[in-house]
Amino acid sequence: MTQKVLIVDDAAFMRMMIKDILTKNGYEVIGEAEDGKVALEKYKELKPDLVTMDITMPEMDGIESVRKIKEYDSKAIIIMCSAMGQQAMVIDAIQAGAKDFIVKPFQPDRIIEALQKVGG
């Protein structure tokens, strides 16, 4: 079954890039969100199988958004996709409930590998 993905990133360019990689690899992108708050709303509305989540975003950052989504659905599968590779940030994200952490810029293979690992 095709897996449905929600892409969360404040940069339209980055959403386009990730969407392109995912679509070419057989995933269905069912929604996009430009900040953590919209991500939570879209998660509730669309019920995606997987979420890719940026960290530094206006309104609500990605780590807070992961917390809120996990509160709503403890089974949510979220992969962080951020340029912020600082150790403290990675630990915060994992503690909030993220399954993996990809540092930008990334190779297309890296994102597919991460999605396959967590999403089966």
Partner 1 sequence: MDSKNGVSLLPEKKISKEKLDLLKELANIGVGNALTSLSQMLDEEKVEMDVPVATLALLQDVPDLLGGDELPTVGIYIESHGDINLTILFVLSLESATSLISSLIPGSQGDFDEMGLSALIEVGNILTASYLNALSFMTGLQLLPSPPEIAVDMSAAIISTVMAEAHIIDEEVVLLKTSLKAQKSHISGHILILPDLGALKKIFTLLGVR
Q: In what order do the strands lie in the sheet with 28-33?
A: 28-33, 4-8, 50-53, 78-82, 100-103
Nearest distance from C-beta of residue 53 to partner 1, angstroms: 14
In angstroms, the CA 93 to CA 9 distance is: 15
User: 45 or 113, CB closer to partner 1?
Assistant: 113
Listed ranges 39-47, 50-58, 72-80, 93-101: which one lies at the site for partner 1 (CB under 8 A): 50-58
Nearest distance from C-beta of residue 82 to partner 1, angstroms: 7
By CB under 8 A, the residues from 10 to 29 that bind partner 1 are: 10-14, 16
User: 35 or 49, CB closer to partner 1?
Assistant: 35
Listed ranges 21-29, 38-46, 100-108, 112-120: which one lies at the site for partner 1 (CB under 8 A): 100-108
91 touching partner 1, by CB under 8 A: no
Kindly report each contact of residues 104-113 with a partner whose C-beta sits within 8 Å and lies 24 or more positions away, as own/partner: 104/14, 106/81, 108/21, 108/24, 108/25, 111/18, 111/21, 111/22, 111/52, 111/79, 111/81, 112/21, 112/22, 112/25
Nearest distance from C-beta of residue 65 to partner 1, angstroms: 14
